[in-house]
Structure 1
Amino acid sequence: MTFRDPDDNPNQNGRGSLEQLVRWRRDVRRFRADAVPDELIDRLLRLADLAPSVGNSQPWRIVNVRSPETRAAIVKNFETARERSAGGYAGDQSDLYNRLKLSGFDAAPIHLAVFCDRNALQGHGLGRQTMPETLDHSCACMVTVLWLAAREAGLGLGWVSIIDPAEVSKALDAPPEWKLVGYLLLGWPEEEHLDPELERFGWQPRTPFETRYWDTGSAPSRADAEVTQQADNSLGSVILVGAGPGDPELITLKALKALQTADAVLFDDLVAKPILDFVRPGARMIDVGKRGYRQSCKQPDINAMMVSLAREGLRVVRLKSGDPLIFGRAGEEIEACQDAGIPLSVVPGVTSAQGAAASLKVSLTNRDHARRLQFITAHDRRGHLPQDIDWSAVADGAATTIIYMPKRTLAELTEVALVHGLDPKTPTIAVANATRPDERVFISTIGAIAAELEAAHPDGPVLVMVGEALRYATVRDAAEQAEAIVAALDAIPGRQ
C-alpha cells in the first residue's frame, strides 16, 4: 500500500479508516529522498498542535533540524548509541539486532526534534502537582496526532529512540528545562507495510489484546504469571472465505457463519458491499483490495496482517470475491499462515464463472459439444498475457474456456488463440459484474469480443466464456435469452 501524494490517498474517497491509519504504522525507516513541501509540514504541525495536553499546557517544543552539520552530529550520536545498545543482546538476538535498519537518517528529508518544556507556564500547573510526568505524556499525544496526520497525507514517520538525549540537546543548544521526547524523521516512504518492521523481521510478534486489559479486581497476580504467559502465546485463526460473485444470496451458510463470528475481516475491492453487511457488528473491517493497474495493497502486506491479527488471538476472515482458491492468490496466504503456525481453514465460494452462467441460464458443459471446462487467467504477475498458456487446449472445440481478468490483454489473447486454430466464430459471452444489479452481458464470437468490450469499456470485473456449449444454451424458461444468443451468432442450432 503506497501513497505518493495526497491525490492517491484513499481516505479522500471515503475508503480509509482510522484503523487503517493506525495499522500503517509510524515506524517507517525507509524513505525516498524526494522533498516534502514546507506548506505540508506546516499544515501537519498545526494539526498536531491541536493535540490534548494536561491542563491545556501544550508543553511540546519542536525544532526543525535543517543544518547538515547538526544532522551529521545527531547521526553520529545514533551510531554510538546503537553500538552501545548492541552489547545488551547475545546470540541470534544480537545478530538480528545488527541486521535491522533502526533509523532512516540517510534519506528522510525532514528531521524534527521534539522536546518537553518542564517549566511550561501555560496551563497554570493544572494536573501537574500529583502527576508531573503527564507533561511528557502530553508531548507523546502530540506526536501521535502528528503521526496520524502524516500517514493520512501519505508521509511516513519514524520515531528514533536509540539516541543520547543529552547529546541531542547539546547539538541543538536546547534550554536546560527542555527534555527530549523524541527525534522524528518524516518523508515519502520508499515502501509501506501493514505490519511493523520489527515484527516482519522476527524481532518479536504482537501478543493478544486480552493480556493487557482487565476489569477491576481481575488483574493477574504474581501467581498468575504462568497463565498470562500461556495467554501471550495463544493464537487466533484465519479463514479464507469465498464471497461469491456478487449476489449476497449466493454466499454459503458456512461463509455466513464465519462472517458473523469474525473479530476482523480483511476484504477485497471486488467483494460486493451488501455482503459486508453480514459481518458481525464490532468486527474490525479492513479494506486490503488489490486494485488492478493502480496503487494498492501488496500481497506480502496482506499476508503479514493476517498473521499479525491472528497472533493477537483474533478470529480473522480473509474475504475474497468468488472462490478464494481460483485466481485468488490463496496459495500465498495459506503458505504464510502455515509458516507462522496459524490455524487455517478455507470456505469455498461460488465462482464468478458459475454465477455468470447461472445468471444467464447457460450450461458450461454439453455432453455432445463440451466435455471439458477450463479456467485460465489473462494476465501474469506483471499484468502481461501469460507465456505458459496451453494454446492447443484453448483452441480445442470440445472445451469451454473461462477467461478471468481479461480486460487489458483480451485482444492479444484472442489473436494468439486464433493463430493456434480457434475458430473465430466460436460463441463467446462476456459478463461484467456478474450476478450484481449492474450486470452487463455481451454476446458475440471470439473473433469480435475484444473489439466490442473495448468499445463498451464496462466498469467492474469482467470474465469471458468461450465454447460451443454456449451455442446450445436454450432452456424452457430462457427462450428470450436463447433467441438473443442465436441472433448474435446468426445460427439456429439443432435441439436435443
Structure 2
Amino acid sequence: MTARNTGDDQHQDGRATLEQLVRWRRDVRRFRTDPVPDDLVERLLRLADLAPSVGNSQPWRIVNVRSRDVRSAIVRNFEAVRGKSAEVYAGEQAELYYRLKLAGFDAAPVHLAVFCDRNALQGHGLGRQTMPETLDHSCACMVTVLWLAAREAGLGLGWVSIIDPAEVSKALDVPPDWKLVGYLLIGWPEEEHLDPELQRHGWQPRTPFEARYSVAGSVPPAVETKAAAKADSVSGSVVLVGAGPGDPELLTIKALKALQSADAVLFDDLVAKPILDFVRPGARMIDVGKRGYRKSCKQPDINAMMVSLAREGLKVVRLKSGDPLIFGRAGEEIEACRDAGVPISVIPGVTSAQGAAASLKVSLTNRDHARRLQFITAHDRRGHLPSDIDWSAVADGAATTVIYMPKRTLAELTEVALVHGLDPKTPTIAVANATRPDERVFVSTVGAIATELEAAHPDGPVLVMVGEALRYATVRDAAEQAEAVLAALQVLPGQP
C-alpha cells in the first residue's frame, strides 16, 4: 500500500519510498560503535547479490574484514595514501582536505572489501568483448544496491577510495585476478543528513541536473562553461506557507493557491493532515517534521533540500504549522535561500494563539486587564528552558503571556515565574490541538496548570495562555467552563 502522492513521503506502512532512500543514501563517515547483527549484514549482502550485472556475470567478490590486525594494516595504508593525496592541493583547499573526515574506520563495526573478479567465467563473456570495463560497472551496481538496502535498514555506508588497492589485496591475501573496487564501512550513522558531507563542509557543491544531461545533436554534455552557468542559475522558488493551527478553513486564499500550484511540499509533523489534501495531486510530499525530543529531520537538512529542489526548477512550498514567522525557524530558512540565490517569499498563517483564543472567545488584549500581549517559547535549541527569559515581564499582572511548546519545561517555567512574583491564582488555560476536532481545553491557574497538564498528558501541539484577560474565556460548554473557572480560581458565585 502506498501513500497518496508519489515522492519523498513514506508508504503508509512506514517504509521509505525509493526516492527517499536515494536522497538519504549519503556517504557516511561518522558512525556509532553499536554492533550490527550478523544476520542483518547477511540479509543486506544477499539483497545486494541480486543486483543486475552485464551478461549475468556477477563479478563481485566480497570479503568481510573482521580481523583487528588486518583492519589496522588497512588503516595505516589509508593514512599513508591520504598524506600523499594531500600533496595535489594547496592553500585553503589543502587545509579543508585535512579537516575533512574521509573515513570512519575507528567506529564502523562492519568492514567489507569489494573486489571485481576480472576472470569471472559466469556470463560466458557476454557484453565484455567490446566493453571489458562493464565488470567494474556491474560491481558498482551491486554496491549501490547494498547502499540502498543499508539505508532502508537505518544503516549508513561509507565508500573508502583513498587507499592503495595492491596493499589491501596483499593484506587480505586475495587471488591476483581480483581488482579492488572499494573498501566499504557499514554501521549506524552518528547523524543523518540529506546533503552530501563534502558539500556541507564546503568542498564542492552539487551541480544542476542539466550540467550532466543533453540531447544528441544539441549541447555537448562535456561543455563545463555552460554547465557552470547553469549551476549559477535558479529557475525554481521557495515559499514559506503558514498552515494555521489545524482547522483547514483557516487557511488563507493565498496559502491555498500556493499548495495547489506546488511541485514539492516540505511539511512539518504538526501540520494537520486534512490540510495536505489541498496539495496539487502529483506534487512531491516530503515529511520533514522536527519531532520534539525524538529522532527527526535536522534544520540544515531541510534548508539544503529546499535549495536543492528549487535548483531543480521546482516550485517549493515549505509548509509550517501556525505562522512561519512565529517560532517557526523561518529566519534560518530565509537566510539559506538568500545565500543560495533562491527566490523566497512568505505567506503568513493564523498562529495557534489566535486560533485558541478564537475557540475560547476571549480577547487576549482585553483593555481592562491586559496592556501587553507577549509570546514566549518554553525551550531553547537544546530543548531546555531558555535562560534569557525576561521573568519580570512574565510576572507582570497586566500582561497576557502565551507560552509556545511548553510540554517539557512548563513545571520549571511556572515555578520560576512564581518566584519572580507572578500571582499563583492567575487564570491560566492550556489548549491542545487548537481549532482541531480533538481540541482539548484545560482551565486552571498558573500555580496548578503544570500538574494538571502532566496528569492529562494530551497528544498533539499544546500552548499555555496566562493572564487576567483569560478570566472571561468561554468554550463550547459554557456551564462546564464556568464551573471550571470558579473551581480553579476558588471563587464562589456572588462574590466580587
TM range (shorter): 0.7 to 0.9
Q: SS state of the match for residue 245, structure 1?
A: coil
AA at the equivalent of 1:487 = E
Q: SS state of the match for residue 154, structure 1?
A: coil
Does the CA contact (< 8 Å) of 2:243 and 2:319 recur in 1? yes
Does the CA contact (< 8 Å) of 1:405 and 1:462 recur in 2? yes
CA offsets, 1:32-51, max 9 Å, x none?
33332222211211121122
Distance 2:137 2:76 in 1: 28
Hey, what does 1:273 align to over in structure 2?
Answer: 273
RMSD over equivalenced CA pairs, Å: 2.8
Alignment of 1:53-452 (within 5 A): 53-214=53-214, 216-217=215-216, 219-221=218-220, 226-235=225-234, 236-452=236-452
Does the CA contact (< 8 Å) of 2:303 and 2:336 recur in 1? yes
Distance 2:12 2:178 in 1: 38
Distance 2:211 2:261 in 1: 21
State which drifts further: 104-113 or 311-320. Answer: 311-320
Q: SS state of the match for residue 179, structure 1?
A: strand
State which drifts further: 104-113 or 417-426. Answer: 417-426
State which drifts further: 181-190 or 441-450. Answer: 441-450
AA at the equivalent of 1:234 = S
Shift of 1:227: 3.9
Distance 2:459 2:479 in 1: 26
State which drifts further: 388-397 or 352-361. Answer: 388-397
Structure 2 vs 1, CA of residues 445 and 68 (structure 1 numbering), >3 Å: closer, same or farther?
A: closer
State which drifts further: 64-73 or 219-228. Answer: 219-228
Structure 2 vs 1, CA of residues 316 and 458 (structure 1 numbering), >3 Å: closer, same or farther?
A: same
Hey, what does 2:7 align to over in structure 1?
Answer: none
Distance 1:239 1:205 in 2: 23
Structure 2 vs 1, CA of residues 293 and 121 (structure 1 numbering), >3 Å: closer, same or farther?
A: same
State which drifts further: 137-146 or 47-56. Answer: 47-56
Does the CA contact (< 8 Å) of 2:365 and 2:371 recur in 1? yes
Aligned length: 480
Shift of 1:351: 0.3
AA at the equivalent of 1:160 = V
Structure 2 vs 1, CA of residues 443 and 66 (structure 1 numbering), >3 Å: closer, same or farther?
A: same
Does the CA contact (< 8 Å) of 2:210 and 2:227 recur in 1? no
How much identity, in percent, do the aligned residues show? 84
1:488 aligned to which of 463, 484, 488: 484
Alignment of 1:438-477 (within 5 A): 438-473=438-473
Structure 2 vs 1, CA of residues 237 and 11 (structure 1 numbering), >3 Å: closer, same or farther?
A: same
Shift of 1:355: 1.4
Distance 2:437 2:125 in 1: 62
Shift of 1:204: 1.3
User: Where do 5+ consecutive residues of structure 1 fail to align?
Assistant: 1-9
Shift of 1:385: 2.4
Distance 1:219 1:161 in 2: 35
TM-score of the pair, normalised by structure 1: 0.88
Does the CA contact (< 8 Å) of 1:25 and 1:195 recur in 2? no
Distance 2:130 2:139 in 1: 18
Q: SS state of the match for residue 51, structure 1?
A: coil
Structure 2 vs 1, CA of residues 62 and 484 (structure 1 numbering), >3 Å: closer, same or farther?
A: same
TM-score of the pair, normalised by structure 2: 0.88
Shift of 1:350: 0.9
CA offsets, 1:6-61, max 9 Å, x none?
xxxx9896164333332223411122333322222112111211222223322211
Shift of 1:224: 6.9
Q: Are 1:20 and 2:11 counterparts?
A: no
CA offsets, 1:451-484, max 9 Å, x none?
222221111111112222222346xxx7x54443
Distance 1:244 1:275 in 2: 9
Structure 2 vs 1, CA of residues 406 and 225 (structure 1 numbering), >3 Å: closer, same or farther?
A: closer
Hey, what does 1:3 align to over in structure 2?
Answer: none
Shift of 1:272: 1.4
Q: SS state of the match for residue 168, structure 1?
A: helix
Shift of 1:352: 0.8
Q: SS state of the match for residue 87, structure 1?
A: helix
User: Where do 5+ consecutive residues of structure 2 fail to align?
Assistant: 1-9
AA at the equivalent of 2:117 = D
CA offsets, 1:347-391, max 9 Å, x none?
221101111222333322212222321111122223232232223
Distance 1:159 1:223 in 2: 26
Hey, what does 1:46 align to over in structure 2?
Answer: 46
Distance 1:389 1:219 in 2: 61
Structure 2 vs 1, CA of residues 334 and 138 (structure 1 numbering), >3 Å: closer, same or farther?
A: same
Distance 1:15 1:424 in 2: 48
Q: SS state of the match for residue 88, structure 2?
A: coil
Does the CA contact (< 8 Å) of 1:211 and 1:228 recur in 2? yes
